[in-house]
Structure 1
Amino acid sequence: MPYKTTVMAHLDEVDDLATAIGACNNVWYKEDGGLRRLCGSNTDWLGIKGCLFEKAHEVSRLSDDGPLTALVVGAGGASRAALYALTVHLRCATVYVLNRDDQEVADLMRDCQRLPTPPKIVHITQLEQAQQLPAPHYVVGTVPDLEPRTDAEKNLAAVLRSILERPEKGVLLDMCFKPRRTRMIKLAESLGWACVEGTHVIGYQIETQWRLWAGTERAAKLDKKGAWEVLLKAADESKAINF
């Protein structure tokens, strides 16, 4: 981060998944005729999908068969993976985007046209606008956990709070995990949302990333349960994210 979109132009090869999503979070070397080629893919979407499914059973309104609605906070590289997971795997036909930079949202709207089923994107900029929209079923945060300082940042924080305060609750994932207990997670939990912390995103990517980095044979021997245990223990003990 934050180079998940700009890194793609510097790689020798980008797979169809990263191209469709418009962002790359995973880079590895591939041997090709004695040459080493830098290749890129996207595994963020696996982490997002896994995290949202993790808590979906706790929210009764997610059992509906119809199309769902989501909110993505931010419009950078991670937001593109969120859009892919939400639209392709979680039945979200409409996605609200909360981001203060209009051009970033315009770029996101352009890039999402490459998705198999592009969603309807609604850029929320004002509190009144948010209050008139149906409540989202999923919320995915893709921005750093920083205290709002400017008027624009404070406005977006107020909009997010108003959405989370709605009586309809869902599942919230904050991909940021520094700190591990972000402002967004603390707020959402206090308001009754089922929340997943950002460290879990890593766990749902482990197997796919290990196959790319180490090869299919080694990946087949991966102790997934043990890998999760190592991840969660490291998250519990890390002074870098627990503050």
Structure 2
Amino acid sequence: MSGRDGDPRTFTYFVGIGLGHSLSPPLHDFVSYSLDLGWKFKVEECARVEDAIRLFREPTFAGGVITMPYKTAIMEHLDGLDEYCVKIGACNNVYRAVDGSLLGSNTDWCGVEACLATASSNGKGKPALIVGAGGAARAAIYALHERLNCNPIYVVNRDKGEVDALLLDTKSYGPNLSLVHLDTLTMARDVSQALSPFYIVGCVPDFKPQSAEELEGWEILTYFLQTTTQKGVLLDLCYKPRRTRLIQMGDQYNWHVIEGIMVVGRQVQEQYRLWCGEDIANKISLEEAWKVLQKAAENSRAINF
């Protein structure tokens, strides 16, 4: 098996831990076939970040998608990082430069931006809210603030230390960014209707709240979803299960909800732009690619429960 015109590149990869629910293989295999690239997409569980790098250093490597827990750890093993990777502080995409070096990028942000803006442009320039303070939250903040001009951005997260780290890491976004940690229901109630969030982005795994901090965070979310006069857009990056608790609650209060699988589809063109160039990536039939992804989601027992 070989790539197009004797190109040694043969495989694209999805690396991380806990990847059994991934919907990426049929999507990427369809794109590769439609572009006549001859690349096969492989899901690789890697016990160590070094195992992923070993795959990427092979001459057959064509491109890589990185997920938890290696979005930060992989950066020090690469030959270079682009501006998105540096500013967001997380890497979810690795590609090979013309000189053979391995470079890191971040395309999560463009998936978030496209999902929100396509659903409604009314949230541009308005307040937003994110749930979580990890790597996905950083990409969401970049999309919300740098691309959609949202301000302030409220943060709901059970761990104050993680929020402190998030505040520190996003200082590079400029002095105009206002991140507000809402850790009590009282603080949420003090937010006026005019400053209620229009975009809400979930950046944590789906779990039943149990600790006092988690229960408080859930009450804050419930408050905004229930009382905000202008119902906005709720995107949950988690899609295991497909209908997360957050998605179900957004439906309950008549918000426009977007499942996490949409983020996968919304960044595929940017991923291939890095892997094989803009001219080839522009030939992707996004409508057909979305149909493949949607079918994979509907047929997946791993996320429909």
Q: How far apart are 1:107 and its partner, in Å?
A: 1.3
Distance 1:116 1:203, change over 3 A: farther
Q: Which residue of 2 aligns with 1:106?
A: 164
Q: Which residue of 1 aligns with 2:104?
A: 40
TM-score by length of 1: 0.90
Q: How far apart are 1:122 and its partner, in Å?
A: 0.4
Q: How far apart are 1:181 and its partner, in Å?
A: 0.6
Q: Which residue of 2 aligns with 1:8?
A: 75
| Superposition map of 1:15-26 within 5 A | 15-26=82-93
Question: Structure 1 residue 232 and structure 2 residue 299: aligned?
Answer: no
Unaligned runs of 5+ in 2: 1-67
Distance 1:54 1:117, change over 3 A: farther
Q: Which residue of 2 aligns with 1:87?
A: 145
The amino acid across from 2:85 in the alignment is A
| Superposition map of 1:200-215 within 5 A | 200-215=262-277
Which of 1 and 2 has higher RCO (CA within 8 Å, sep 6+)?
1
Question: Structure 1 residue 154 and structure 2 residue 215: aligned?
Answer: yes
Q: Which residue of 2 aligns with 1:167?
A: 228
The amino acid across from 2:78 in the alignment is L
Q: How far apart are 1:83 and its partner, in Å?
A: 0.7
Q: Which residue of 1 aligns with 2:182?
A: 124
Q: Which residue of 2 aligns with 1:97?
A: 155
Distance 1:117 1:199, change over 3 A: farther
Paired residue secondary structure (1:93): coil
Cα pair 1:27 1:40 within 8 Å, conserved: yes
* Aligned mates of 2:185, 2:70 — CA distance in 1: 30
Q: How far apart are 1:198 and its partner, in Å?
A: 0.4
Q: How far apart are 1:213 and its partner, in Å?
A: 2.2
Deviations 1:170-226 (A, max 9, x none): 111000000011000000111011111100001110111012223344323322221
Cα pair 1:175 1:201 within 8 Å, conserved: yes
Distance 1:25 1:117, change over 3 A: farther
* Aligned mates of 1:211, 1:230 — CA distance in 2: 20
The amino acid across from 1:110 in the alignment is L
Q: Which residue of 2 aligns with 1:30?
A: 97
| Superposition map of 1:175-214 within 5 A | 175-214=237-276
* Aligned mates of 2:120, 2:259 — CA distance in 1: 14
Q: How far apart are 1:6 and its partner, in Å?
A: 2.9
The amino acid across from 1:185 in the alignment is I
Unaligned runs of 5+ in 1: none
* Aligned mates of 2:92, 2:159 — CA distance in 1: 22
Cα pair 1:2 1:77 within 8 Å, conserved: no
* Aligned mates of 1:2, 1:140 — CA distance in 2: 20
Paired residue secondary structure (2:90): coil
Paired residue secondary structure (2:179): strand
TM-score by length of 2: 0.72
Cα pair 1:28 1:213 within 8 Å, conserved: yes
* Aligned mates of 2:178, 2:106 — CA distance in 1: 22
The amino acid across from 2:220 in the alignment is V
* Aligned mates of 1:211, 1:199 — CA distance in 2: 20
Q: Which has the larger radius of gyration?
A: 2
The amino acid across from 1:191 in the alignment is Y
The amino acid across from 2:110 in the alignment is L
Paired residue secondary structure (2:151): strand
Q: What is the percentage of aligned positions where both structures have the same residue?
A: 46
Cα pair 1:172 1:195 within 8 Å, conserved: yes
Paired residue secondary structure (1:92): coil
